[in-house]
Amino acid sequence: MNELADHFDSPERQAHAARLGMWVFLGSELLLFAGLFTLYGAYRAKFPAEFAEGVRHSTKLLGSLNTAILLVSSSFAALAVEQLRRARRGRAVALLLATQACGVVFLVLKFMEYSEHFALGIYPGGQGRFFAAHASAHFEPFWTLYFLTTGLHALHVAVGILVLAFTTLALGRGSFGPKFIHPVHNATLYWHLVDLIWIFVWPLYYLA
């Protein structure tokens, strides 16, 4: 992976292509979540009271803690790239590992949140005793969307952790030097996207 692929005439061009490819792909990912935010807007306009009530039921402490964790992890990722630019590979590896650790903590907290909801009888699809007890109002769209959005986001977190893990492994083996950091940069770009999406999920489902 370290050398220049023969269809590129310079390493700069190759790095530029790889970065642009990642940015375009991230654009595609954004549209995926844009669909979910559209659904949120449409259903919130239809059931404003139920959405407000749903937000009151969300686990604010865990959700906000997760926001902080993702923000910290993102800064670790950014620092890792910076350390790599300065050819400090050991520090970069450590920072990337810290990023992944934050990701794992995020998933654990998310899982705890889900189990709290399940304990209250809140399951996706309006199934569970919570919805049976509130049959007069339509809480289903809020909670189904909540599980769908956070679930899809959690899936992206998991993929992000895997991508970072493979990148760290390659970095540890010495595959990327200071002049060949775009694979690491790309992996962290993906991680920042995961973070960025959460920055919008958090106010919509926990604060608003």
Partner 1 sequence: MTTTFEPELRVVPSAPPRVRDLAREWLLTRDHKRIGILYFVATSLALALGGTFALLLRIEHLTPGPTIVSPATYDRLFTLHGVTMVWLFLIPSIPTAFGNYLVPLQIGAREVAFPRLNLLSFWIYVFGAAFVLCAMGLGGLDTGWTFYVPYSSSSPSAVVPTLVGIFIVGWSTILTGVNFIVTIHTMRARSVSWMRLPLFTWAIYGTSIIQVLATPVLGLSLLIVMLDHAFSWGLFDAARGGDPVLYQHLFWFYSHPAVYIMILPAMGVVSEVVSTFAHKNPHSYRAIVYATLGIAFVGFLTWGHHMFVAGMSVFDAGAFGVLSMLVAVFSAIKVFTWLSTLRNGSIMLKTPLLYVFAFLFLFVFGGMSGVAVATMSLDVHWHDTYFVVAHFHFIMVGGALTAWLAALHYWFPKVTGRLYSERVGMLAAALVSVGFFATFFPQFLLGNAGMPRRYYAYPPEFTALNVASTLGSWLLASGLLLALFGLAHAFLFGPPSGDNPWRSRCFEWRTASPPPAHDFEQVPSFELDAYDYTTPWPEEPPLESSAEEPS
* Cβ atoms of 76 and 95 closer than 8 Å: yes
**Who contacts 169 (Cβ-Cβ below 8 Å, separation ≥6)?**
none
> Taking CB under 8 A as the rule, does residue 148 contact partner 1?
yes
> Taking CB under 8 A as the rule, does residue 141 contact partner 1?
yes
- Among 60, 109, 140, 192, the residue binding partner 1 under the rule CB under 8 A is 140
Q: How many of the other CB atoms lie within 10 Å of CB of 139?
A: 21
Query: Contact region for partner 1 (CB under 8 A) — 40-48, 57-65, 172-180, 197-205?
Result: 40-48
CA distances in angstroms from 19 to 22, 107, 201, listed in the order given: 5, 27, 26
- Among 1, 3, 31, 136, the residue binding partner 1 under the rule CB under 8 A is 31
- Among 4, 32, 133, 162, the residue binding partner 1 under the rule CB under 8 A is 32
For 186, the token pair is 């790309």
Q: How far is the CB of 14 from partner 1 (least distance, A)?
A: 9
> Burial code of 155-180, b = ≥16 C-beta within 10 A, e = fewer?
ebbeebbebbeebbebbeeeebeeeb
Query: Contact region for partner 1 (CB under 8 A) — 85-93, 96-104, 122-130, 188-196?
Result: 122-130
> Taking CB under 8 A as the rule, does residue 13 contact partner 1?
yes
> Burial code of 13-40, b = ≥16 C-beta within 10 A, e = fewer?
ebbeeeeeebeeeeeeeeeebeebbeeb
> Taking CB under 8 A as the rule, does residue 39 contact partner 1?
yes
Return the percent helix, strand and coil in the chain, to nearest 5: 80, 0, 15
| Minimum CB distance to partner 1 smaller for 38 or for 64 | 38
Query: Contact region for partner 1 (CB under 8 A) — 22-30, 82-90, 164-172, 185-193?
Result: 22-30
Residues that bind partner 1 (CB under 8 A): 5, 7, 13, 16-17, 20-21, 24-25, 27-29, 31-32, 34-36, 38-39, 42-43, 46-47, 50, 124-127, 138, 140-141, 144-145, 148
